[in-house]
Structure 1
């Protein structure tokens, strides 16, 4: 699961990104995620956490 601030196109973090290839974006550098992607990623991480008890 990508971190909320990972690349918009491939989900790789800024410090590990360099240049990457995806079919959607071709060769690209790290691109900031949209606000909606950040929100969706944060919610996905919240619901993926195990519940205590």
Structure 2
């Protein structure tokens, strides 16, 4: 997961490759994957995103 592209971590169930939510996704391009449709993130990605978002809330 590349959190640095976002001001905050993507939503936990955002696309596996780009972090965009399924309802807004369509076809997207990212350098690491190319053109892709929405894909469910891995369990490890979901967990990491939840932790990153929680840590961000604590900093504010």
Paired residues for 1:20-31 under 5 Å: 20-31=28-39
Following superposition, the deviation at residue 50 of structure 1 comes to: 3.6
Aligned length: 51
The alignment's TM-score, normalised by the length of structure 2, stands at 0.80
Bigger radius of gyration among the two? 1
**Structure with the largest fraction of helix:** 2
The alignment's TM-score, normalised by the length of structure 1, stands at 0.89
**Structure with the largest fraction of strand:** 1
Following superposition, the deviation at residue 9 of structure 1 comes to: 0.4
Distance in 2 (CA, whole Å) between partners of 1:49 and 1:8 is: 22
In the alignment, structure 1 residue 6 sits paired with structure 2 residue 14: yes
The CA RMSD over aligned residues, in Å, is 1.1
Structure 2 spans left out of the alignment, 5+ residues = 1-8
Distance in 2 (CA, whole Å) between partners of 1:50 and 1:31 is: 29
Superposed structure 1 runs of 4+ greater than 4 Å apart? none
